[in-house]
Amino acid sequence: MEFREVKSQEETQISAYGGGGFRIGERRSKGSILITPKGYYPWAAADIKAAALDNLRQITAQAAEIDLLLIGTGENMAFLNKEVRRALEGLNIAVDVMATGAAARTYNVLLLEGRKVAAALIAVE
The rounded distance, in Å, linking the Cα atoms of 84 and 19 is: 28
- Structural domain tally of the chain? 1
Distance CA 97, CA 70 (A): 6
Range of the domain at 89: 4-121
Q: Residues 41-92: pLDDT tens digits?
A: 999 999 999 999 999 999 999 999 999 999 999 999 999 999 999 999 999 9
Q: What is the pLDDT, as a whole number, of residue 1?
A: 47
The H-or-E segment that residue 16 falls in is strand 14-18
The predicted model scores a pTM of: 0.92
Residue 17 β-bridge partners: 22
What is residue 25's predicted lDDT score, i.e. its pLDDT?
81
Specify the higher pLDDT residue, 4 or 96.
96
Are the C-beta atoms of residues 122 and 100 closer than 8 Å to each other? yes
Instruction: Give the CATH number for residue 49.
Output: 3.40.1230.10
Q: Which residues pair with 82 in a beta bridge?
A: none
Residue 63 one-letter amino acid: A
